[in-house]
Structure 1
Amino acid sequence: MTTSHILNAVSPLIADLAQDLSERERLRRLLAALRNLLPADAVALLKLEGEWLHPMAIDGLMPDTLGRRFRLAEHPRFAQLLAAGQAMRFEPDSPLPDPYDGLVAHKGQTITELHVHDCMGCVLQLGGMPWGLLTLDALEPGRFADPAALAMLQAFSNLAAATVATAERVHQLSQLARGSSHTTSTAAVPERGLQGSSPAMRQLQKDIALVAASDLSVLITGETGTGKELVAQAVHAQSARAGKPMVSINCAALPDNLVESELFGHVRGAFTGALTERSGKFEQAQQGTLFLDEVGELSLPVQAKLLRVLQSGQLQRLGSDREHHVDVRVIAATNRDLAAEVSAGRMRADFYHRLNVYPLNVPPLRERDSDVLQLAGYFLEENRSRLKLGGLRLEAAAQAALLNHRWAGNVRELEHLISRAVLKALSRNDGSSGRASSRLRIVTLGVADLWDQPEAIVATPAPQPPATQSLPAPELGLRDAVTTYERELVNASLARHHGSWAAAARELQIDRANLQRLAKRLDIVKP
């Protein structure tokens, strides 16, 4: 490789340091320049976060790699690179498993040919501390045998570190511009955080960073399975209250006679069984955050009692006349349309407006197409680690099927689907090979592992509105007509499934608990 070729590859990167680029674009250009310099089939930039390595940018790897999190204790090659502190190469016959086996996006290769046969990497240092790793992989043995390749990677790492430092500085400045000066340590970030880089998720992340810097109450809305609790955790983790407790309570799981005691606490003798004095969730969350999940399930009397503490921070334990003052930020979540609940008289308007100071809507998975494979990669790596497998990958047809699915159950449905598919694939592989050692190699998930029925993978067409003239004039008002229709649907489904809540919930595509609450609201008794 000539000097002019090297200069042509790195000169744009040097010029980029002074340019106003997004973090994604800056890192993409960094990896593209590295592949121009060195003959790699795949390159990746990974950030060190505690005991995990998080891919920040990839080139030449499967899209789901971006969603994976690599635990150092389970990937000795990564651990050795970090310990070396400088560029190093692994011999093609190295017995250490390669984290990218089966993940190199190389068309025309069979699964058995997708094992990485040559790899090298180096540590990126920022401020004298290891920031992460830069890795290069090739499917052909001996691709990096030339000692000059290792020297070039070591020299390139200094420019890469400068690029990463610039990207992080731009990110910090953008946070300051949005009014958020609080940063969190790695330990404060939940292990299973928000995943995705689609436009909808990037906007949600911006909104989270904006509201986290304040003390405003937040109302998180979204369909079942979208990850509303993760959004609440992200708001708390990025706030000035991150070092204080975040207390969660599922409002739907509380009996009406215990809600007041759970939220406000009670004194001894306040009710039968109250043998000692006990603080409530508000006091337990002092100076921190209280997360009210499924807040739409609270009864009207409880809503009225919550108004005072939301307004002034004053509360009384059940059975006591003494007031307590609490400093708590309230984050609430629901999959209901609370404005409609107010109109229907099932929620107090003043309570709704106390909660809905800053609304955050979590987008459904069908509006996050580019995130599906990234999330799938996250769940694949979770299953690989839990089952101690060598590698998990998706066939191209399985990737296409995931992208085409409608995801009525959102991220939770995808998580459960991947877990089931892994077990099916393991059963199929073990049955065909007749030995458990096959689990140590790459396990590939096909469409048949994801869905038993081929038609299940076809994207559900958007429903077409019926012709106006086909709709009869309602005898009741709109809301009563909708309630009547809901009651008929639920009754019919329960009848078809002989009173089975679980089967009816699957047919109606809602959670069983939500179906039972809906039936209670509609005055339906199980047949």
Structure 2
Amino acid sequence: MPHPLLRSLLPLVADLSRELPDHERYRRLLHSLRQLLPCDAVALLKLEDDVLVPLAVEGLSPDTLGRRFRVVEHPRLEALLASEQPVRFAADCELPDPYDGLLDGHGQLEVHDCLGCRLSIQGTPWGLLTLDALDPATFGSVDLETLQAFASLAAATVMASERITQLVRGVEEQRQLVEVYKRVAGGQVPRELIGQSPAHKRLEQEVQLVARSPLTVLVTGETGVGKELVAEAIHLHSVRAHKPLISLNCAALPETLVESELFGHVKGAFSGALNGRSGKFELADGGTLFLDEVGELPLPVQSKLLRVLQSGQLQRLGSDQEHHVDVRIIAATNRDLAEEVRQGRFRADLYHRLSVYPLRVPPLRERGRDVLLLAGYFLEENRVRMGLRSLRLHKDAQNRLLAWRWPGNVRELEHLISRAVLKALSAHAERPRVLTIEAAMLGLEGDEQAVDLVQGQDEVTLPEPGAGLKASLDAFQRRLIEQALQRHHGKWAEVARELGVDRANLSRLARRLGIR
């Protein structure tokens, strides 16, 4: 009969020659590890600069995948990275465990036995494998050399995965890109795009595709979906990543200042212009200019913006001298610009210049369990900000998050988590070792929201009794569609998306019901 180590390694060896999605390859890796060393939870974490990012977990709360563990804040993880050999922590070890309270299905129970090892690729630390158990004697008889042998093949697995998918850049390249961005953006590293849903994966694929091109991108989506993060991701994966990304919120400036912000001005150009200054276009020369809320630009400024996009030439306000700039434009809006063009509020020629590659960011309600990953990310942020040892979501709270429709999208979730943490803290006279967010602390009425198709608008009126089944159904459907059309200003594509039906089927139904 094969040795247990051999039994666990054989499937991994076979997988090395197979083309598998990253998440499936990592899932198989952790499954084999738990067969070799039975325990309550395992995790694979990748080291990115000074942060450990969970790539796959088993036995831990789903929101763990959204958390980011800064190495300096987690001494156990720091010790594992510093050791060339596997490390088992004593049951009475005083170092805080990053997974306390995160074991799936075990509430606030703390980890009692912890084992882990570093994964290295070509002599460079790549990440960690961690194993955790509630029984303090679980790893007492474990042969650490067995774990080391498994870790060697695990390192080969992740290296093969990176080379096959080509989704990650080299460690040195990543470091250089981040350093450049820090210098340009004043030390602020952009947030990553977090998610595993099909809708999010499609978005990431489109970002990768268009980032490598010189095309102008129009990012559309509801308020709070993260359009600015998408713009940052496009820039950081483009050939212009070593140059600045300059942002301008077109809705945040009075009309009299928009032109100056975009194109700059000379001294004395207008009252209060005591000195000349460069505009956003000049600051972004060689890089990328992100125009957020571009639909808010006044028509006179739109014509001047179009001229710069066509020729690359601009004039500072109050000057006759022309400046040439080489700038890639990424624009974003939560408006339907095609409808704005029809209404005469936006120039058609500018719209076509901006929408060379339209990119829709899906709302949070279309992303399924991504809400738990994002919640984990925001929980970890709040844990650090509040100086807490461990912060977790109760199972009921997770279910409530999954049931909510998120009219405010990711931004609403971020603010909600921050409020919930404060409420949870206020319920304790002293800070507990593991702070749990209960469902009631979220302030969500999940049952009402789950059945609310109109998101705070008027309810659909039910037909009168005695009208007959077919007539009642027709009346109900007609009213439902008409109300959706009102909410979306006659945009059938948006109505079809809200109601969850094919647009062609919706058109046929509307014709039958006499809706024009």
Query: TM-score band (shorter)?
Result: 0.7 to 0.9
Tell me which of 187, 191, 197 is aligned to 2:178: 187
RMSD: 2.4
Cα shift readout 1:74-117 (whole Å, capped 9, x = no counterpart): 100000111112211101110001000011114xx452xx2000
SS of residue in 1 equivalent to 2:44: strand
- Please name the residue that 2:352 is paired with: 353
Distance in 1 separating the partners of 2:173 and 2:213? 14
Identify unmatched segments of 5+ residues in structure 1: 177-181, 431-435, 484-527
SS of residue in 1 equivalent to 2:251: helix
SS of residue in 2 equivalent to 1:373: helix
TM-score w.r.t. the length of structure 2 is 0.85
User: Structure 1 residues 269, 407: CA separation in 2 closer, same or farther (over 3 Å shift)?
Assistant: same
User: Structure 1 residues 414, 175: CA separation in 2 closer, same or farther (over 3 Å shift)?
Assistant: closer
- Please name the residue that 1:492 is paired with: none
Q: Partner letter of residue 146 of structure 2? A: M
- Please name the residue that 1:164 is paired with: 158
Cα shift readout 1:32-61 (whole Å, capped 9, x = no counterpart): 000000021110010111111000111111
TM-score w.r.t. the length of structure 1 is 0.83
Tell me which of 441, 444, 468 is aligned to 1:449: 441
User: Structure 1 residues 102, 69: CA separation in 2 closer, same or farther (over 3 Å shift)?
Assistant: same
1:428 matched to 2:427: yes
Q: Is the 8 A contact 1:101 1:115 kept in 2?
A: yes
1:118 matched to 2:113: yes
- Please name the residue that 1:258 is paired with: 257
Q: Is the 8 A contact 2:42 2:130 kept in 1?
A: yes
Distance in 1 separating the partners of 2:83 and 2:100? 22
Shift of 1:6: 2.5
Distance in 2 separating the partners of 1:452 and 1:234? 31
Q: Is the 8 A contact 2:222 2:363 kept in 1?
A: yes
Shift of 1:459: 4.7
Matches within 5 A, 1:326-405: 326-405=325-404
Distance in 2 separating the partners of 1:155 and 1:357? 51
Shift of 1:175: 8.3
Distance in 2 separating the partners of 1:429 and 1:297? 46
1:460 matched to 2:452: yes
Matches within 5 A, 1:124-273: 124-148=119-143, 150-172=144-166, 184-185=174-175, 187=178, 190-273=189-272
Aligned pairs, number: 458
User: Structure 1 residues 219, 454: CA separation in 2 closer, same or farther (over 3 Å shift)?
Assistant: closer
Shift of 1:383: 0.5
Q: Is the 8 A contact 1:448 1:454 kept in 2?
A: no
- Please name the residue that 1:283 is paired with: 282
User: Structure 1 residues 270, 364: CA separation in 2 closer, same or farther (over 3 Å shift)?
Assistant: same
- Please name the residue that 1:505 is paired with: none
Identify unmatched segments of 5+ residues in structure 2: 182-188, 462-473, 491-516
Cα shift readout 1:201-246 (whole Å, capped 9, x = no counterpart): 1010010011110111110000000000000000011111111111
Cα shift readout 1:61-84 (whole Å, capped 9, x = no counterpart): 110000000011110000011111
Q: Is the 8 A contact 1:404 1:459 kept in 2?
A: no
Cα shift readout 1:134-166 (whole Å, capped 9, x = no counterpart): 100001102101141x22111101000000001
- Please name the residue that 2:9 is paired with: 10
Distance in 2 separating the partners of 1:217 and 1:57? 35
Q: Partner letter of residue 195 of structure 2? A: G
User: Structure 1 residues 35, 283: CA separation in 2 closer, same or farther (over 3 Å shift)?
Assistant: same
User: Structure 1 residues 20, 154: CA separation in 2 closer, same or farther (over 3 Å shift)?
Assistant: same
User: Structure 1 residues 197, 468: CA separation in 2 closer, same or farther (over 3 Å shift)?
Assistant: closer
Shift of 1:274: 1.5
- Please name the residue that 1:46 is paired with: 45
SS of residue in 2 equivalent to 1:266: coil
Shift of 1:183: 6.3
Distance in 2 separating the partners of 1:413 and 1:131? 34
> Which runs of at least 4 in structure 1 moved beyond 3 Å after TM superposition?
182-186, 188-191, 452-459, 461-466, 468-471
Shift of 1:468: 8.3
Shift of 1:370: 1.7
Q: Is the 8 A contact 2:101 2:107 kept in 1?
A: no
% same residue: 60
